[in-house]
Chains A and B, each alone.
Chain A
């Protein structure tokens, strides 16, 4: 065994005692680490979170940047060296500029990479000014053209000349946060009502369960559509964002509530709950300090499995034109442009946001599955 493999995992002799004395969190972490795919997905999601937090810095341009010279231009290839610049082999990060040609009959402009036209690319370049977190004014971008006027469109541009990569980073912030905030709201409702329902039982349980059954019986997708469509058309993008998130959460909390309730119901008769009760702990303390932490990893697993559902719902709603609307950018809004087949056939890179959706959803699913397996004490 090499040194690297033993890191974090106790050596063979001590393993038994370590396992026996390890905290629950430690056990779950060991279990989770065994799932390569889940671990890899977790890194992907962390990357996504970085994009959510440092959006303005990571995006090469501002989200209002619009270059009417390059509409629906294809993606460029990032090159590390140059052999055709006239001076032989030459290092340096760059992309090729474009030459454009307009078809005289269809008026459609086609772009070709132009090896003669070299666009220097740099890291931490000065670009458009922005305010990080809405507070810190800055003008550096992680990657961008040395001359801010030069075209650098690594993922191509949209039909109105916006950089697809920039849009994608901004859309990631919106779409991912809709999922996370929505699930957080659903979680709050679900855990509180589920806990109360399972802990107290009796008529409270009965009432809450009937309510949940009613909500579950209403088909959720038409309900989403209907509520989203009933919003005033002239609503501001921020307001719309929060209301759409709330709608998604209001429909999604029931499943979580059921799960939490089942656990509470099963745990209510355990000795440690009785002891806490005899100790004179308040109901709230017993529920949220004693009982809830004992299955927190299950809840985290359930959460990471329900975020993708919400992301998919938002994407579909926005794509249909019922969710978020431009100028707000989300993955669904981005994909709207690809829905005209005349546009799509000339610019297949517009589907890239779709690939991002699939990857993020898969990553959340893998992390959720990995966590669920790791949290299962019978699998250790």
Chain B
């Protein structure tokens, strides 16, 4: 219980620190939301009355000193769930994010599951069959996957897609299926569009996890208890499942936290190139046009999910492995 309490306390502290960092990011670019809005209106030829300006400034708490501004921004989020306005989209940030969160989480989750299944199978295979051809192939792919930036993978796919099929599969569905109700055809169409993003987003993750699992399992398989079990005549398959595998599961659990930001960066890349209705391209656009409430909020939401994910993985690890639980109590 003490372990649990300490973790929750750290999480709160971390969130506070993150909110500070995000606020700094939001306030770094010169000018603020209202001056940006004024500049935008000036380009369009309309003008805000001083009254409106004052009203807007009051609404976003932009007139106080830095601390008052921070407090205003922070309390708006906590008390009213108000993340501010996006001046690119002319909509509340909450709506912009909400509209795309579903697709993002969906793609991320599917990719995550595929990543895990693949990494798990390949990692175990290459540890058990160490120094086999399959192991060498897996290790090579692992090294390459970690060394290749995911946007480069996307570019290579696009190149081959264009030279073989003459076009790039963009979006999440083909025009003829987009408005159709759910059926097998639409599902197949969706899968046809999903595999490139999945490869692009997932490769680095699979490569990293394969390496970790392989190394962990190899360490574990050299332990005396494995030899002892083998000497007693425990069949190989059961021997593997009994203990070493549990230890090898550890990296899956401990990476729950940071897996989402990694996936989202992959999503920025693929979403940008393939035009997916996900958060990635929105974040990139917001960052580029310095639409800071939107960008800051997306970073905030991401960090929140990461921190909660870390918390969950801490609990799971403590439950999976008593040593971790006790080690933290000193």
By a beta-carbon cutoff of 8 Å, the part of chain A in contact with chain B is 213-214, 217-223, 225-233, 308, 312, 315-316, 319-322, 335, 338-339, 341, 344-345, 348, 351, 354, 357-358, 361-362, 365
Contacts and interface: CB of A to CB of B under 8 A. Distances in A.
A222 B307 CA distance: 13
A316 B299 CA distance: 17
B42 interface: no
A341 B168 contact: yes
28 contacts: A213-B14, A217-B14, A217-B306, A218-B303, A219-B261, A219-B303, A221-B264, A221-B265, A222-B264, A222-B299, A225-B283, A225-B299, A226-B21, A226-B22, A226-B299, A229-B25, A232-B29, A233-B290, A308-B147, A315-B149, A319-B151, A321-B288, A339-B155, A344-B162, A345-B162, A351-B159, A358-B148, A358-B152
Contacts of A358: 144, 147-148, 152
Contacts of A351: 152, 155-156, 159
Contacts of A232: 29-30
A230 B149 CA distance: 23
Interface of B: 10, 13-14, 17-18, 21-22, 25, 28-30, 143-144, 146-152, 155-156, 158-159, 162-163, 168, 258, 260-262, 264-265, 268-269, 272-273, 283-284, 287-288, 290, 292, 295-296, 298-299, 302-303, 306-307, 310
A354 B158 CA distance: 14
A365 B147 contact: yes
Contacts of B265: 221, 316
A213 B159 CA distance: 42
Nearest to B288: A321
Per DSSP, are chain A's interface residues mostly helix, strand or loop, or mixed?
helix
A16 to B, nearest CB: 28
A223 B303 CA distance: 9
Contact of A354 (B21, B25, B155, B287): B155
Contacts of B269: 316, 320
B28 A219 contact: no
Given A226-B287, A230-B25, 18 more contacts: A214-B13, A214-B14, A214-B17, A217-B307, A217-B310, A220-B261, A221-B262, A222-B302, A226-B25, A227-B28, A229-B288, A230-B29, A320-B151, A335-B151, A341-B159, A344-B158, A351-B155, A354-B155
B152 A322 contact: no
Nearest to A345: B162
Contacts of B144: 358, 362
A348 B147 contact: no
B228 to A, nearest CB: 23
Contact of B268 (A213, A320, A339): A320
B261 A335 contact: no
Contacts of A222: 261, 264, 283, 298-299, 302-303
A225 B151 contact: no
A228 B299 CA distance: 13
Given A320-B268, A362-B143, A344 B159 contact: yes
A217 B144 CA distance: 27
Contacts of B162: 341, 344-345
Contacts of B292: 230
Contact of B295 (A226, A315, A338): A226
Contact of A229 (B14, B159, B290, B310): B290
Contact of B290 (A213, A221, A225, A230): A230
Contact of A335 (B146, B155, B302): B155
A2 to B, nearest CB: 28
B155 A320 contact: no
A221 B302 CA distance: 10
6 A-B pairs with least C-beta separation: A230-B28, A229-B287, A219-B261, A361-B147, A226-B25, A345-B162
B25 A227 contact: yes
A290 B320 CA distance: 41
Contacts of B272: 320
B165 to A, nearest CB: 11
B310 A221 contact: no
Nearest to B18: A218
A335 B152 contact: yes
Contacts of A226: 21-22, 25, 287, 295-296, 299
Contacts of A344: 155, 158-159, 162
A219 B290 contact: no
Contacts of B264: 221-222
A225 B298 CA distance: 11
A219 B152 contact: no
Contacts of A228: 287
A233 to B, nearest CB: 8
A315 B155 CA distance: 14
Contacts of A312: 147, 149
A177 B176 CA distance: 50
Nearest to A222: B299
A217 B158 CA distance: 35
Contacts of A335: 151-152, 155
A339 B272 CA distance: 10
A149 B127 CA distance: 58
A319 B148 CA distance: 13
Nearest to B260: A219
Given A221-B261, A226-B25, A226-B299, A362 B159 contact: no
Contacts of A213: 10, 14
Contacts of B168: 341
Contacts of B287: 225-226, 228-229, 322
A248 to B, nearest CB: 15
Contacts of B150: 316
Nearest to A336: B151
Nearest to A363: B147
A275 B47 CA distance: 76
Highest count of chain A CB atoms <10 Å: which of B149, B158, B159, B295 = B149
Contact of B299 (A223, A322, A357, A361): A223
Contacts of A229: 25, 287-288, 290, 295
B167 to A, nearest CB: 9
Contacts of B30: 232
